[in-house]
Structure 1
Amino acid sequence: MASAFVRGAWPHTLVKLALSTTSLTWIAAPAMAQDAASAPAPVPARAETASATSASIDPNEIIVSARRRSETLQETPVAITAVNAAMIEDKNALNIGDLMGTAPNLIITNQSSGAAAANLSIRGLTYADVEKSAEPTVGVVVDGVFIGTSTGQYFDFFDIEQIEVLRGPQGTLFGRNTIGGVVNIRRTRPTGEWGVKAEVSYGRFDTLATRAVVNVPLGDMIALKGFYFHNETDGWYRQAQDGRRRGGANNENFGASLLVTPSDTFEALLTVEKQVQDFDPVLGVLTNSGDAFCALAPAEQCNRNTTDDIYTVFGEPNAGNYSAPSATLEMNLDVGKVKLTSVTGYRKSDEWQTQDFDASETDLYYVYRQQNYEQFSQELRAAGDFGPSFDYVVGAYYFSSNYDLDQWTRVTAFSPGVDPREYDDNPQHVEGKTRSVAIFGDFNWAFADKFRLSFGGRFTRDKKSLSNAFGGVQIGEGSDTFKKFTPKIGVDYRPNDDVMVYASWSRGYRSGGFSPRAGSPASASQAYGPETVDSYEIGGKFDMMGGMLQVNLAGFVSKYNDLQQNTNLFCAVCATQNETVTTNVGSATIKGIEADFTLRPATGLTISGALGLLDSKFKGFVVGGISPVTGAVIPFDFSGNDLIYNPDMTASLNATYSVPTSFGEVVGNLGYRYIGRYDQQISIAGLSGDTTDGPAIVTGNDPRVRTDEQNLLDASLTTRFDLAGTEAHVTVFGRNLLDDRGTTHGFTVGGLFGFGTGREPRTYGVTLGVKY
């Protein structure tokens, strides 16, 4: 791989950089200290780094690293929402799902078919799948490391310094599989001083969370941070047969970070951690009278609604276990004119789970899935400037992953007591590999007074392979290489210190691959191609009323080409008579408008809000389907269907009021989020047109995979006070106070059955915490 870089057109200095192991991820500067066209600030002292982004909730004070530089939020010509530690605490946000609605056009739901798995959509771009070969369209980056699968993305928010939600393709600096955007999560660093932050929370559904972070100084040059998080719940589903709670989980996350600073110009941060989760991946039944399995299940378990009914479940007991150790090494070196960066990441996961996919009490479709996954990544960067008007970030990136899956299935066995591993003598075995290398550069040039040009690009080469076998007999194997250059160019104009307007064009790229659910030799060995997005955006950031009001606006058009979509097809040679394959199916256009604001009308009062509007449509989405008249394969046209996870509108309004008291302060927070209805799967509601010879016109997605409009009201009241020299707090909180119920995930399977999961109903609780 290294020789490929040497042969490229990059300067010899970049080749030297590729042999070094250094880093510049955690630069922070005092508020408003860095002009947008200047070079990145030097690596600061530990205390400055730890506090720069968490000490204030003023957006002008927030330092972001969205462009791998230290810039204030309002100076960054990118559509970005930043949430720092103080905001998270005031909102009593628990995990990444609580971000939904906070940023415009952002959807985040939990996927029960995988451990700590998230379905993320930004600006209507998503790919909701838990298979390890199915790479996300929205990247989740934790401490500079990209998480390569949706499993493990549903992140805890206790030990967080800042979160940045970058909207739109981020292919230049963050790489492939970020065509929708990036959720960039930065955790706190060791402080080098004695300190403890601990919290215990108890809420509805017997939800108990205990969390602690301990900082320990180990001399002048070494600082240690240890952390432990525990979260358990009985779940919010009820088993119809006996009334017990279902959907419970027990999650443990623990580890340590070691920060070494032998000099003012070098530092190294090593984080080692492990996440362990035991969970019940329960599903609600969505099978209706048009599905074959409805005739085999009790009548009351068919034709159920997707609101209240989804919380009563009938299926067999399920269980799952997820174990994921990981390590991150970040190193910083300041050599004067150039700041050097290295971020090394390693992540491994072992998981197994059983799941009753038909979700009825009749034993119809029950599986045992066992998976192993391993990823390694290395990023090298150099950042600097050529005078006051030109700065740069250049680098190289390597990523590799390996995974394997074994699945045993009971299909219409009517034998609930039999282990699938004993029943199925023809189990599926899948193995996959990915190797990816990239070089990139991003540049700022202040070419005229008040004008700046931002430009850059990334060249990525991916090699993927996958083999698929049933019962030890290989049915298909494929290997392919995908290459893409993803450029970006933009210009911004600052007529004064309070206004910035910008325009940009960027291209995002999501790699091609192979279908792990393919059941025929032809499908298993056939690669699907990459998909790309060309995004055109204009925007503005405005400080008004003497800094009392900040308003950010953006409008965009995204041209989505060669879409990758899962399609369920009839398969005569497959054991289940159908297979799910991924294909490139045409194009889509997504248009949108986004706005967010922050207003401070009085001391202690902050009001913020966000609005996202989307308009999207498919073009040329035609795939093969089975004629209901002849049974032959004919063209099915899905162009009239809605894109998934694509609500017409998202909106939020949040108010935080802090009142000082004789003993400390009282902070109240009230937040409202609106999420418009959206579909969760490309499916078939009905057919028109020529259903004999084609094309048959699909009349929309199945209504069972559609979530209704959501009106989510959250509130918390926090009292902070001194307790024997220690800062303490008590928080009373409520989430989804309107008890708005419905699905977060719905899926139908080829005319056989349907299933879904429900969002968290009304919940409430109390949190006690200390910090010193």
Structure 2
Amino acid sequence: MIRLRVCASSLAVMTTIALAPAAHAQTQGSDGAAANAGVGEIVVTAQKRAESVQNVPISIAAFEGATLEKANVVTVLDLGQVATNFQTVRSSNTGSTRIGIRGVGSLANTLIEPSVAVFVDGVYVPRSGSILGTFLDVGSVEVLRGPQGTLFGRNASVGALSISSALPRNEFSGEVTGEIGSFDRYKLSGFVNVPLTDNVSARFAGMGQWYQGPWKNRLDGKRYGGSDDMSFRGTVKGDFGNLEWIVRGDYTRLDGDGVSNFDFDPRSVSPARLAFIQAAFNGGPDTNLNDREMNQFVNSGLIDENWGVSSTASLRVGGSTFKLINSYRRWTNDQLDGDIVFFPVSLLSRRSLFDSKSQNHELQFISPEKAWLGGRFDMVAGLYYFDEDFALGEDLNLGSQFCSLLVAAGAARTACSAYYTATGGNRAAVQKVFQNVRSIAAYGQGNLYLTDRLTLTLGGRWTNDRKSGNYDQVSSPFTQTIRAPEALTFPGIDQSRFTYRLSLNYKPASDILLFVNHSTGYKSAGYNSGPGSPSLSTFDPAGDLVSTRRLFQQETVKNYEAGIKAKWLDRKLTTNITFYRMDIAGFQDRAFDGVSFIVRNAGSLRQQGFELDLAMAPTRNFSVSASMAYLDSKFTSYLNAANLPGLGGTQDLTGKPNTFSPKWSGNVTVDWRGDIGSSGMSWAANANLSFVSDQYNGTVLDTNPQTLADGYALLGARLTLNGRDDRWSLSIFARNLTDTHYQPLSVYQPLGAALGLNNTIFPGSTANRIQASEPRTFGAAATVRF
């Protein structure tokens, strides 16, 4: 458990600095839109136009690609180590990656809309599981905290993640990097800029990685968790006077076993039940939560492919800009995930299939800054169209020992064995789900400059969502207790919603911005894609639908913020702090009903706290940045929450926190560099410490004390030697340098009730699985630039 006395003291000091008198900054010059002076300040596009991050009245964590490289952030799963109040986690299935901001997120292996909208080069990506390989040749990353429902759409209800790739330069240049790391990891990456004409240039980037994986399986002696990955992107940019046109194409393929190690928590069952498991199931699963071993039957494989094309054309007319964005994306994920019981015997495997085809079309209008009403008004506006066909599939396959170990002796076991002999146990339960989403929207946001220092921002977005689809589940007699047969055409959904933003911004000095915001967001109604037993839908004798629990209602968010962004001490010190409250009504909770997961509206949730970002550069060669977030999570009403395992019925979680909502989180980064005599060479050192306090990390929202994970801190470091003119560099780096063991995710033991594992510690307890944390890793890299 992290002790927070030091954190609280640091917070008091930082808050005092943040609220320091404005006189410290009175003499500083104003920020230009493209200014990059001052540590930690970069240009962002959070309001659809390029602006200094210090001039945008939104809580933002923004990073350049070079910053992410120094911090060893290589995938979206690492981003939380530098972006406070941002968490990502993946389950045993890569398609179920969860992205959360301010403690709210959605697992992606359902039809539920994401709470955090993801954009890659301005294009909305509807499924968060599809971006695990997108950190190739990154130019910048922006984490926008709080609802972004006006400019980014309906599915930015608690925030947005915007990833921008590097653009071509009109010169012949490039770099190639080779890496080697722990657990037989090898990586080759690079890019090249090619001028095609005087005003057209291209950039080609690629990456290949070969990784054996860190987990050793005692049962078969093999290593797991590895993958052979490749990723490519091509970008062409043309400048034709008033017209800029950027065309991109990308392709990513992940080819591995897809295994994530979930160890059995021996504390979650009684000694007698643990002894029973070990005696009945080939010694039982691995129970050491702090090693790199597993002990289970594995039958797995993963092929994940993601590709897309996009076009962004910007036409400048009379100082205004018209921007047209068109795109098409395709993501397929085929994962054999077995044995999903995680025991050292062959019981049950699962093949999961995801297929998303989406297209985005957006027309934006961006006026010149302060160009209208005598320099008192500017605006952005747009029209948006989105369409996605999304198919999910699941095949459950009986293992060779399913019948003998999980079916009672007698006629039932004899019938099960005969069924297995005839079919091999394959496709004992088959699920097919399809959904089409069509969304159209119109939005606008304007800045009214009441005085030279006071600005009123008003924005609104009208959105219409239409959804349709179908559900089909076929199940054998031996799997109907967990997968009931069901066939249903979803009742159509046609919903419209208006979301808005109000902001009042005041600049008492050129380097200080005070702001208050009120913004709203929403996620549309939808369908449960999970199986139910009994069926979630009921039909009359004529076969007509009588009722269905497959439909859940929309979720709405109201957000209130007050913040300060400031620079002083000759722009060497930057402090941004935002206080916020998010009230979420109709919270869409993915709950466990005993045998399966279903989405339902939970009631009301309040997430409130503050985010503090501090950066200091006392000299040209030394800088320190720090972030800290406090989060108070509480259900203001949740009367019908899922009960603890085996108890049945519901429980009242009013006053309890949401999952993945730590009270404290943050990070500290130190950058130090220097020259090596007069050789023209230089060195650079970077260290990053991130921390998260205690939090519930289960996939079920029931506040089971067995899923309350201790807080932890992770330390990473990188040391680099640069050649003359930065033509080459050599780096050594480490992740989780202290080899800290922590618990990213907890899941209930599959088939826990059938295995007699419920209520063996206290009423409502059950066997628990803990996802193994990433072990300490080392690496070395060599880069050549030309």
Normalising to structure 2: TM-score of the pair?
0.83
Return 296-305 or 427-436, whichever deviates more: 296-305
1:202 aligns with 2:180: yes
3-state DSSP of counterpart to 1:151:
helix
Residue 679 of structure 2 is aligned to residue 668 of structure 1: no
Equivalent in the alignment of 2:638: 621
- 1:122 is aligned, of 101, 117, 139, to 101
Instruction: Specify the alignment match of 2:159 in structure 1.
Output: 181
**1:364-421 CA distance string (max 9 Å, x none):** 3311122322111111100104242211000011111112223211357626999998
- Secondary structure class of the residue paired with 2:728: strand
Q: Which amino acid aligns with 1:376?
A: Q
Question: Is the Cα contact below 8 Å between 1:209 and 1:229 reproduced in 2?
Answer: yes
Q: Helix, strand or coil: the match of 2:715?
A: strand
Q: Secondary structure at the match of 1:98?
A: helix
Paired residue type of 2:631: L
Equivalent of 1:496, from 491, 505, 509?
509
Alignment equivalent of 2:526, drawn from 502, 510, 513: 513
Instruction: Decide which moves more: 515-524 or 200-209.
Output: 515-524
Rounded to whole Å, the distance in 1 between the matches of 2:293 and 2:455 is: 54
2:487 maps to 1:475: yes
Unaligned residue ranges in structure 2 (runs of 5+): 1-27, 404-419, 476-484, 539-546, 754-766
1:241 to partner: Cα distance = 1.8
CA distance, structure 2, for counterparts of residue 419 and residue 274 of structure 1: 41
Distance 1:256 1:742, change over 3 A: same
CA displacement at 1:296 relative to structure 2: 8.9
Matched with 2:57 is 77
Amino acid at match of 2:550: Q
What is the CA–CA distance in structure 1 between the aligned matches of 2:224 and 2:37, rounded to whole Å? 41
Kindly tell me: are residues 421 and 399 of structure 1, through their superposed partners in 2, closer, same or farther at Cα, counting changes over 3 Å?
farther
Q: Determine the structure 2 residue equivalent to 1:266.
A: 243
Residue 527 of structure 2 aligns to a residue whose secondary structure is coil
CA spacing shift, 1:379–1:660, aligned 2, 3 Å: same
Describe the shift of the 1:240–1:646 C-alpha distance in structure 2 as closer, same or farther (beyond 3 A): same
Greater CA deviation, 416-425 or 583-592? Answer: 416-425
Amino acid at match of 1:71: E
Tell me the equivalent position of 2:662.
Answer: 647
- Does the 8 Å contact 2:610/2:631 carry over to 1? yes
User: What CA distance in whole angstroms lies between the structure 1 residues aligned with 2:641 and 2:562?
Assistant: 39
Return the alpha-carbon distance in structure 2 between the equivalents of residues 636 and 172 of structure 1: 36
| Alpha-carbon distance in 1 for matches of 2:424, 2:361 | 38
Partner of 1:47: none
> Which whole-Å CA distance do the structure 2 matches of 1:333 and 1:33 have between them?
28
Counterpart Cα distance in 2 of 1:560 and 1:604:
44
Helix, strand or coil: the match of 2:231?
strand
Count, aligned residues: 695
Q: Deviations over 1:465-507 (max 9, x none)?
A: 2311123975222121222111110101111112111101111
Contact 2:637 2:655 (C-alpha < 8 Å) held by counterparts:
no
TM-score (norm 1): 0.84
The CA distance in 1 between the partners of 2:428 and 2:99, in whole Å, is: 36
Give the alignment partner of residue 366 of structure 1, picking from 342, 349, 352. Answer: 349
- Write the letter of the residue equivalent to 1:125: V
Deviation string, structure 1 residues 160-184 (Cα, Å, up to 9, x no partner): 1111111111111111121221121
Cα deviation code 1:599-651 (max 9, x no counterpart): 0112300100000001111133233768999x8x6343233543111111012
What residue in structure 2 maps to residue 592 of structure 1?
609
Work out whether 1:142 is the aligned partner of 2:120: yes
Which of 522, 534, 552 is residue 558 of structure 2 equivalent to? 534
8 Å Cα contact 1:480/1:527 also seen in 2: no
- Go from structure 1 to structure 2 and tell me whether the alpha carbon gap of 1:313 and 1:190 turns closer, same or farther (over 3 Å shift): farther
| 1:297–1:447 CA distance, 2 compared to 1 (3 A) | farther
Query: Given the alignment of the two structures, is residue 349 of structure 1 paired with residue 331 of structure 2, yes or no?
Result: yes
Contact persistence 1:297–1:361 (CA under 8 A)? no
Cα pair distance change 1:733/1:304, threshold 3 Å: same
SS of residue in 1 equivalent to 2:69: helix
- Following TM superposition, by how much is the alpha carbon of 1:550 offset from its aligned partner in structure 2, in angstroms? 0.5
> Residue in 2 aligned with 1:250?
228
Query: What SS is found at the alignment partner of 2:128?
Result: coil
Q: 2:87 aligns with which of 107, 111, 116?
A: 107
* C-alpha contact 1:206 1:233 (8 A) present in aligned 2: yes
2:674 to 656, 659, 665: 659
Distance 2:119 2:243 in 1: 23
- The one-letter amino acid of 1:636's match is Q
SS of structure 1 residue aligned to 2:245: strand
TM alignment of 1:657-736, pairs within 5 A: 657-661=672-676, 662-681=679-698, 683=700, 700-703=703-706, 705-722=707-724, 727-736=727-736
Give aligned-pair identity as a percent. 24
Q: Which runs of 5+ in 1 are unaligned?
A: 1-30, 36-40, 42-51, 571-577, 685-697
Write the letter of the residue equivalent to 1:301: G
**CA separation of 1:113 and 1:201: change in aligned 2, threshold 3 A:** same
User: CA deviation digits over 1:577-603, x for unaligned, max 9?
Assistant: x33211101111111111111101123
Is the CA contact (8 Å cut-off) linking 1:118 and 1:153 kept in structure 2?
A: no
Q: Quick check: 1:59 aligned with 2:72?
A: no
Deviations 1:16-73 (A, max 9, x none): xxxxxxxxxxxxxxx98876xxxxx8xxxxxxxxxx68x777334x211111112111
**AA in 2 matched with 1:489:** L
In the alignment, what sits opposite 1:327? 309
8 Å CA contact 1:285–1:302 kept in 2: the answer is yes
Secondary structure of residue in 2 paired with 1:546:
coil
1:94 corresponds in structure 2 to: 74
Instruction: Name the structure 2 match of 1:21.
Output: none
Letter in 2 for 1:457: G
The structural deviation recorded for 1:253 is 0.6
- Equivalent pair of 2:39/2:616 in contact (CA under 8 Å): no
Alignment of 1:228-627 (within 5 A): 228-261=206-239, 263-282=240-259, 283-286=261-264, 289=269, 294=277, 298=281, 301=284, 304=287, 307-308=289-290, 311-356=293-338, 357-384=340-367, 385-386=371-372, 387-411=374-398, 414=401, 423-471=426-474, 475-478=487-490, 479-519=492-532, 520=535, 521-522=537-538, 526-569=550-593, 578-623=595-640
Cα shift readout 1:398-455 (whole Å, capped 9, x = no counterpart): 1111122232113576269999985225411111111111111111111123100111
Deviation larger for 412-421 or 354-363: 412-421
